[in-house]
Structure 1
Amino acid sequence: MAGPIGMMIQHDLRDWAQRQTQCHDYLLHGSKILKDCWWQLNCDLVLKNPPEFDIEKAVRLNIFYLFIEKTWMLQQLVLAVPLYLIGGISWLVWGVSVRIVISVGGHWLIGYFAHNKGDKTWEVEGAAVQGHNIKVAGLLSMGEAWHNNHHAYPGSAMLGLYKDEPDPGWWVLNALHNLRIVKNIKLPKQLPLRSELVAISDNIDTRVERVPEDCEIAKFIRKGS
């Protein structure tokens, strides 16, 4: 898809466009599924007057991020070379090419449905695009399918905001936070209030919110170190 900076720019462009009162079909997943698939997986969007994004220095000048940005395609060699040496061309095709097609295609598919169908806990008034939660894909998508929550709190590191919303991505972040590898995690309660955000679910007051927790694996690692 891109390196970390390229993905940040792609995401910010989509996020900016979807918050406007009108949004092009390309950026809102508003076309029929086959057309949207072709657009998203094969085409680039070129704007005459694109918005400007001022990426903070801590990111755009970070040596590690810049290295990943410049080498993100070459990083496949870390997996491709041993797969080829162990199992030949078939292992290479299945372990790299097929894996990438399935993961990138699956990411697009979740995005398509998450912007068109599914449950909603929140609505963002005035936004051309609303996110939807796709319950059956919460685990498989590493939490990405809780997209209504993401539209409500785009700055939150947690996507599955309630106990009944499995979020493997958050489980990993929570463990890394316990190990003090990840810091400054932002959660909904730490974000500025949004006057345009409206709760529309009837049972929102009865659901149990997810909060940062102690991680048993992290405890075990800390004790052993």
Structure 2
Amino acid sequence: MMAPVLRVDGSAADPCMGSVRVDWPKALWNTGMLIGTILAVAVANWQSILLFIVLTYASLLIGHSVGMHRMMIHRSFKAPLWLARSLIYVGTLVGVSGPSGIIRIHDTRDWAQRQRACHDFFAHRCSLLVDLFWNLFCRFEFVHAPRITIEPDIAEDPFYRFLDTTWRLHQLPIALLLYWAGGWPFVLWGICARVFVSSTGHWTITYFCHTSQRDLAKGRWLVKDAGIQAANIPGFGLITYGECWHNNHHAFPESARIGLDEGQADPGWWIINGLAKCGLAYDIGAPRAAASRSDLVERAES
């Protein structure tokens, strides 16, 4: 079993105290992508839409779910450095943030949700439109923030530090290539629509899989003392790369496989398993043994 990843020191932090503020760089970036998406609809053709579907699915699956989420954040498997950097680079091209930024976003939210109580910003108790606005255009400003320490192999790696400071600019060479291949329809669908839908799609999974007070919250596992529980959303495994099995993931974040039960499609795991068969993924994490599950309560699926 792989060692748990412990980056957050919340001993002096309060997950309830703080306020939601407009994050202007984030807001301008996502507004620009939204405007580009609206323009994309006006110039749409079947080639640009097909390009959008392929690039969006592939970058989220390979870069975000496999590279950033399962490998970089949760350390649920390892890969050779060249491959790890490639996966994280594709994850950067998704257009949400650089490597360290993704870790901070994820770990802050995960820490807050595992407390007995947290602010609505992390709990997703507000309406869909309010929560969408908060997540695409705002940040949470703590009164007492948790301290996050990112591992040196990420924080001190020159390539990852370069991505952290330039992550938005990496859309430009892709845009030039797409313009050469198909003009403005390819640019608008391959960059703007892809980035905006990727950001919105990332939020959608977050919203619907972390709403324990709603009827959608189904799952086998209850995490003790966590104010916000996670849901499995049946039927969406393929379209969410396996990330919709979020009840499993909250229970076993160390597992490279998220779709743990029969019938739970998990394309992210299929990629990792394929890499392992090629000798390109190793130290693959699995759910911890029953004797180490004192933090969990098993319950019947509703």
Q: TM-score range by the shorter chain?
A: 0.7 to 0.9
Assess if the C-alpha contact under 8 Å between 2:238 and 2:266 holds in 1.
Answer: yes
The residue number in structure 2 matching 1:45 is 140
Q: How far, CA to CA, are the matches of 1:107 and 1:191 in structure 2?
A: 31
User: What do you get for the CA RMSD once the two structures are aligned?
Assistant: 1.9
Work out whether 1:29 is the aligned partner of 2:124: yes
The residue number in structure 2 matching 1:193 is 292
Q: How far, CA to CA, are the matches of 2:197 and 2:107 in structure 1?
A: 24
1:53-97 deviations in Å (ceiling 9; x for gaps):
122222212233223323322222242111112222222111110
Compared with structure 1, are the counterparts of its residues 68 and 163 closer, same or farther at alpha carbon in structure 2 (3 Å cutoff)? farther
Q: How far, CA to CA, are the matches of 2:291 and 2:98 in structure 1?
A: 29
The residue number in structure 1 matching 2:102 is 7
Compared with structure 1, are the counterparts of its residues 32 and 145 closer, same or farther at alpha carbon in structure 2 (3 Å cutoff)? same
The residue number in structure 1 matching 2:177 is 82
The residue number in structure 2 matching 1:133 is 232
Q: How far, CA to CA, are the matches of 1:22 and 1:143 in structure 2?
A: 28
Q: How far, CA to CA, are the matches of 1:191 and 1:54 in structure 2?
A: 29
Compared with structure 1, are the counterparts of its residues 156 and 78 closer, same or farther at alpha carbon in structure 2 (3 Å cutoff)? farther
Q: Which is worse superposed, 12-21 or 76-85?
A: 76-85
Q: How far, CA to CA, are the matches of 2:218 and 2:207 in structure 1?
A: 14
Assess if the C-alpha contact under 8 Å between 1:125 and 1:198 holds in 2.
Answer: yes
Unpaired segments ≥5 residues, structure 2: 1-95
The residue number in structure 1 matching 2:51 is none
Assess if the C-alpha contact under 8 Å between 1:107 and 1:141 holds in 2.
Answer: no
Assess if the C-alpha contact under 8 Å between 1:143 and 1:159 holds in 2.
Answer: yes
Q: Which is worse superposed, 72-81 or 3-12?
A: 72-81
The residue number in structure 2 matching 1:17 is 112
How many residues in Structure 1 have an aligned counterpart in Structure 2? 203
Work out whether 1:114 is the aligned partner of 2:114: no
Question: What are the equivalent positions in structure 2 for 1:46-195 lying under 5 Å apart?
Answer: 46-116=141-211, 117-189=216-288, 193-195=292-294
Q: How far, CA to CA, are the matches of 1:168 and 1:101 in structure 2?
A: 22
Compared with structure 1, are the counterparts of its residues 164 and 41 closer, same or farther at alpha carbon in structure 2 (3 Å cutoff)? same
Unpaired segments ≥5 residues, structure 1: 204-225
Q: Which is worse superposed, 155-164 or 18-27?
A: 155-164
Q: How far, CA to CA, are the matches of 1:199 and 1:46 in structure 2?
A: 35
Q: How far, CA to CA, are the matches of 1:138 and 1:197 in structure 2?
A: 23
Q: How far, CA to CA, are the matches of 1:21 and 1:115 in structure 2?
A: 14
User: Equivalent pairs: percent with the same residue?
Assistant: 41
Q: How far, CA to CA, are the matches of 1:70 and 1:194 in structure 2?
A: 39
Compared with structure 1, are the counterparts of its residues 78 and 180 closer, same or farther at alpha carbon in structure 2 (3 Å cutoff)? farther
